[in-house]
Structure 1
Amino acid sequence: MMIRQFLLWTQHESAGRRAEAASSLARAYLYAKLDPEARWEAKTAVTALLDDPSPLVRRALAEACANAAEAPRPVVVALAQDVPEIAALVLARSPVLTDADLVDCAAIGEEAAREAIAGRPAVSPMVCGALAEVAGPEALRRLAGNPGAAITPGSLLRMVERHGDTGALREAILARPDLPLEVRQAVTARLAQSLSAFVSACGWLSPDRSERITREARDRTTLGLAEGAVREDLRRLVAYLRRNGQLTAGLILRAMLSRRMDFTEAAFTDLSGLAVERVAGLLHDAHGQGFTALYRRAGLPAALEPAFAAAMSAWREEADGLTEESGPALSRRMIERAVTACEGLPFAESHALVALLNRFDAEAAREEARLLARSIASEAAVAAVLDSIPAALIESYRQDRLRLAA
């Protein structure tokens, strides 16, 4: 009898009254203890209300059903296909919707629907992958900032590829815990690309000069990110760089001249197809013949081989007692040896390489100067503090130390 009264109420000419009735009827179905016949009638009535022309009525249904695991599935699926402001209510919360439902809604829905899906308490890798392919920057930012979103590295890379020029999205991705190394590199590379485009558009640098500066800055950042990474992370990073055309001879040469031998080994392993242990043995071959074979198998430019061989020889000579953190990022001694090895080459073959090595040397010299300036500044600060301490206090401290030693 109560259900029939609700049904009569839903025929009211006022949309507001019909919405009240729809909400009450849906909640009665979901939470009241109804007998089987009344429950069937209530479910039928709720389903019929989907045809109401007023969005107020359908919104009332969506609000009532959004969090309910017992909501009728046909009703929830239909509401998820409704106008964006109604669909978003169930897309954001309903436990009734499956991954297939969510992927379908992401594919054909409005951007508001995608944002709602991106903010769900839990988003599966399948749904994250679908959003990564079709969603706009704001939905992807919301997805990246959602701790309940299980986003795979491949989906994160796709997000960067499609909308990595959006600063808010880059920040949200970088803030994710345990971010894969290759994703972090992709984000920083995209930032460098955006800055390069801005500088070129402003006319501050020529496109060629801007592109070169950006490439070299990206290489420095890549090696900085790779520092201290475990072998598996380096393997994935190198594979990603190769797929995207960033595993260049210049980057590998910079890694070698910076004494980043873990990265160098990973790069030659990927390019040569040999086992990492075999690559390590050839790189460290004291006679140099193993490195020659490895270099040629990796398919790197023949014109650069003398510089690589000279740099590797210099590294072997200074490897004892040397750590990757020793000195500046680039070794000026290794650079000098590489330049010397190129002196006998024809100008047409060597000028670009020598120019690159000279830029490396200038960069290393600037880094040495920075380190020295910081050291001098630190010593001056310590001296200033000591000068401010009264001589009597220092003498008293010295006497106390002597008594303790005795």
Structure 2
Amino acid sequence: MILRQFLTLTQNASPERRAEAAGTLTRSYLEGALAPEAAWEAKTALLALLDDPAAAVRRALAQACAGSEQAPRPLIVALASDQPDIACLVLARSPVLMDADLVDCVAMGCEETRAAVAGRCDLSKPVAAALAEVGGAPSLVALARNPLAAIGTTALLRMVERHGDDAELRQALLARTDLPIEVRHAIVTLIAEQLSRLGQDAGWISSERGARTAREARDAAALALSDEAGDAGLARLVAHLRVQEQLTAGLILRAVLSLRLPLAEVALAELSGLSRARVAGLILEPHGAGFAALHRRAGLPDLLLPAVRAALTVWRDANHGRNGMDGPRLARSMIEAALTACETLPFAEARGLMALLARFEAEAARDEARILAHEQAEVQAREVAEAATRLAAPQTIEAGLTAAPSEILILSAGPVTPEPSLPDAAAAWPLAVRPEDRIGAVVAGPDADAAPETAETVLAGLADEIMAHFLADRAAAMAQGPSAGQAETLRLRALPIPAPLPEASSVIIPEIVVEPKRAARPRAIAVAVAAGMIPQDLVLSYRADRERQRLAA
């Protein structure tokens, strides 16, 4: 009934009307609200719409059922083989399609449909391998940029082999976090070969030199990758090098002379069939018969044995602390020992080996110079930064001095007694003392019996005692320093802190101000002042009191 009504309604309708009706019928079927018989008729009607000549109708079917698991499989498979803009809708999303369907679409489709398959979130390794085998650069770039795609190492290597010259593909591969170490080495090798061909085509280098440059760059890349690879990654790298026929004697010699002993151990174990632990034990005894047997079993040339033995001897002595060398210096010492060991060999046979060792020595010297220059540059930069920091502090303080007025805080090291202001000699002499300034108290001392006969005698004695007491105090102060009674005045200057120091508003800079010594008052001025301050009647009364005390006694 549904099929008959649908065909009747859409028989004479426009393509837009038929597309709208196809989408409505598809959504009704996928919702599962139809009865079994009605669902069968709706499914039949949807399959009949595949023959509709209007692409808009088939596109409406694909859009409605692309992401549904309830979509009829015959309908999805048929839509996957439709024209690219319709097929891509279901190839990119439909969960109904199996790996066999996707592989068939990859093999028979175009780059647009392959790119749609490459972007699926559940892409499996078989489908990725099919894409790597037949896909072009655009679809492989889409595959490499899909972080959820499961891509095997073989498929990745095949991608590099087929379209590794595409810079966009190389960049997409290197951006993957799960890129195997073998693929990274293959990309570096490919780039080295491209640069070598570029130099040869431009006439910059000869073909022989270009081949040697590419080979050395490939070996250097293998050594660099071995530094960051673990045991499993190192074993995969060595196996890859052997399959690619790049595990050569020159690479093993370079690994030994550049202190990449783990790579040399794994390489010798791979070539000889022995365990790595056994190889490591034989390397510690390079002059023994076991190491010579290992050398022959690995297929290395006999001409290389003296150089390897000499280099490993230097390395063993360094490990035992006999020569105290490490790093680039140790590598250069090993190369020099290898060169010395080759001097006894026939020149015609050892010429190539000597040239190779000479290049290794030059590379090691340049690496050592680079490291030393880098260290010196870091030290110089650190010294310049420290000097700038030291110079910035005084400049900041001076800027604060000029930016804000200074404030003087006086702090005393002890209690300070205000000094009496002594009268000026010109003002105190020869003027007489005013009556209100005279001292009227009776002066009595312990020596009451020794009364002076005249005022001049008393004044002379008082002046001598004053000067003696002053000189004694001055000598004691000079002998004991400022802490023996003389308070040193500390002047502390409070300055506003500039912007570089936000945690404090001011800094206190201690400034010790040494007070100048006061010149001693002349004796004549002291006597004049004393004579002017003591009245005559006081002297007479003092004499009378002394006389009465003597008579009473």
The TM-score with structure 1 as length reference comes to: 0.90
Bigger Cα displacement from structure 2, 155-164 vs 96-105:
155-164
1:292-342 CA distances to partner (integer Å, 9 max, x unpaired)?
1101000122332222222222222222369xx952398111111111222
Deviation at 1:40, TM superposition (A): 0.8
Distance 2:214 2:130 in 1: 32
Q: Using a 3 Å threshold, how does the CA distance of structure 1 residues 210 and 76 change in structure 2: closer, same or farther?
A: same
Q: Cα RMSD between the aligned structures?
A: 2.2
Deviation at 1:251, TM superposition (A): 1.0
Distance 1:248 1:10 in 2: 74
Q: Where does 1:24-173 land on structure 2 (aligned, <5 Å)?
A: 24-31=24-31, 33-173=33-173
Which residue type is aligned with residue 159 of structure 1? M
Q: Using a 3 Å threshold, how does the CA distance of structure 1 residues 283 and 106 change in structure 2: closer, same or farther?
A: same
Deviation at 1:206, TM superposition (A): 1.9
Q: Where does 1:100-249 land on structure 2 (aligned, <5 Å)?
A: 100-249=100-249
Which residue type is aligned with residue 249 of structure 2? A
- Tell me if 1:252 matches 2:252: yes
Deviation at 1:382, TM superposition (A): 2.2
Distance 2:392 2:35 in 1: 95
Contact between 1:188 and 1:218, CA under 8 Å: does it hold in 2?
A: yes
Distance 1:64 1:176 in 2: 34
Distance 2:392 2:269 in 1: 64
Q: Using a 3 Å threshold, how does the CA distance of structure 1 residues 19 and 198 change in structure 2: closer, same or farther?
A: farther
What SS does the corresponding residue of 1:313 show, helix, strand or coil? helix
Distance 2:336 2:9 in 1: 90
1:174-196 CA distances to partner (integer Å, 9 max, x unpaired)?
22223322222122222222222
Q: Using a 3 Å threshold, how does the CA distance of structure 1 residues 197 and 18 change in structure 2: closer, same or farther?
A: farther
Give 1:369's aligned residue: 369
1:266-308 CA distances to partner (integer Å, 9 max, x unpaired)?
0001100111221111122254322111010001223322222
Deviation at 1:96, TM superposition (A): 0.2
What SS does the corresponding residue of 1:33 show, helix, strand or coil? coil
Distance 2:186 2:326 in 1: 28
- Tell me if 1:311 matches 2:311: yes
1:35-80 CA distances to partner (integer Å, 9 max, x unpaired)?
1121111100111111222322222211111111111100101111
Contact between 1:258 and 1:329, CA under 8 Å: does it hold in 2?
A: no
Distance 2:7 2:32 in 1: 16
Contact between 1:80 and 1:86, CA under 8 Å: does it hold in 2?
A: yes
Distance 1:17 1:348 in 2: 89
Deviation at 1:121, TM superposition (A): 1.2
What SS does the corresponding residue of 1:59 show, helix, strand or coil? helix
Bigger Cα displacement from structure 2, 74-83 vs 28-37:
28-37
Bigger Cα displacement from structure 2, 14-23 vs 165-174:
14-23
What SS does the corresponding residue of 2:328 show, helix, strand or coil? coil
Which residue type is aligned with residue 373 of structure 1? A
The TM-score with structure 2 as length reference comes to: 0.67
Which of the pair has more CA radius of gyration? 2
Give 2:527's aligned residue: none
Could you tell me which runs of 5 or more consecutive residues in structure 1 were left unpaired when the two chains were aligned. Answer: 395-406
Deviation at 1:25, TM superposition (A): 2.1
- Tell me if 1:337 matches 2:344: no
Q: Using a 3 Å threshold, how does the CA distance of structure 1 residues 358 and 223 change in structure 2: closer, same or farther?
A: same
Which residue type is aligned with residue 251 of structure 2? L
Deviation at 1:118, TM superposition (A): 0.6
Which residue type is aligned with residue 385 of structure 1? A
Could you tell me which runs of 5 or more consecutive residues in structure 2 were left unpaired when the two chains were aligned. Answer: 395-553
Q: Where does 1:5-24 land on structure 2 (aligned, <5 Å)?
A: 5-12=5-12, 14-24=14-24
Q: Where does 1:264-283 land on structure 2 (aligned, <5 Å)?
A: 264-283=264-283
Distance 2:243 2:39 in 1: 58
Bigger Cα displacement from structure 2, 65-74 vs 23-32:
23-32
Deviation at 1:255, TM superposition (A): 0.5
